[in-house]
Amino acid sequence: MHLLTEAALEPDPLRLPLRVADALCAGMGAQGAAVTLLPHTEGAQLLCASDEVALRLEELQFEVGHGPGIACAAGGTPVVIEDCRQPHPLWPLFSATVGEQLPQVRGLWAFPALGGDETLATIVLYRSSPWPAHPRAVQQGVFAAWAVARLWEHLQDVLLNEHGPSWEPREVIEAHWLSTHRAAGALSARLGVTVTEALLMMRARSLRTGTPLPQLAAAIARSPASWTDD
């Protein structure tokens, strides 16, 4: 995909993720795109989102713990939702929330960026109209995901450091991903469970109480001892 090749020539590595997202939108005819690293693990990390809708789609998946990007990463194969207005039996909460909060999202495709047998990242693209799964278009998405994986392997040392990702929007990444991971680690140590189990407990409480996951994570970070069993 020549648009991704052009994006890879961006001289500023911190601008590169958004250039990649824009290239994916243009090349695939999507309204928005997001790339998330390791979305099927507790180390999930947003790399870039082209707009607020793409960002919210990634936030929703991170908050509820399921969705097309996570399924795509876990299975290593593309996931195609031709029309989000049709309820999806595998992700009822995600599907219902998208319908309520993001009615402009109709077609939703997810592709795994593979490194060998492992999923390094996923690309999630959306359209504001139904998106039929034409084989040639799906293959184009598979190739785009392959190109993103090669790009990530080349640039990960530049984009990551001991303080976490250095790209923007920093405040969004801090609130929705990094702080939540740190809180899950603190809760894990307090309760003697794994980080994965701690994150599942946080998600369950967030959904049950209606407390946004970042807000819950901030409370745990301030005082892990404040967590009490229901």
What are the tens digits of pLDDT across the range 20-63? 888 889 989 999 999 888 777 766 778 888 898 998 898 888 88
Residue linked to tokens 């959904």: 207
Residue with tokens 């392997």: 153
Q: pLDDT tens across 89-130, in order?
A: 888 889 988 999 999 999 999 999 888 888 888 999 999 999
Question: What is the rounded CA–CA span in Å between residue 102 and residue 121?
Answer: 23
Q: What is the mean pLDDT of the chain?
A: 81
Total Cβ atoms within 10 A of residue 45: 19
pLDDT at 168 (0 to 100): 47
* Helix H or strand E segment including 100: helix 92-101
Structure token digits, residue 11: 């001289």
pTM of this structure: 0.74
Mean pLDDT, residues 168-188: 69
Read off the tokens for 100. 């309520």
Taking the alpha carbons at both ends of the chain, their separation in whole angstroms is 51
What CATH number should be reported for the domain whose range is 2-161? 3.30.450.40
Predicted local distance difference test score (pLDDT) of residue 9: 64
Estimate to the nearest angstrom the gap between the alpha carbon of 115 and the chain centroid.
17
Buried residues in 115-136 as b, exposed as e (16+ CB within 10 A)? eeeebbbbbbbbbeeebeeeee
Q: Any bridge partners for residue 110, and if so which?
A: 79, 124
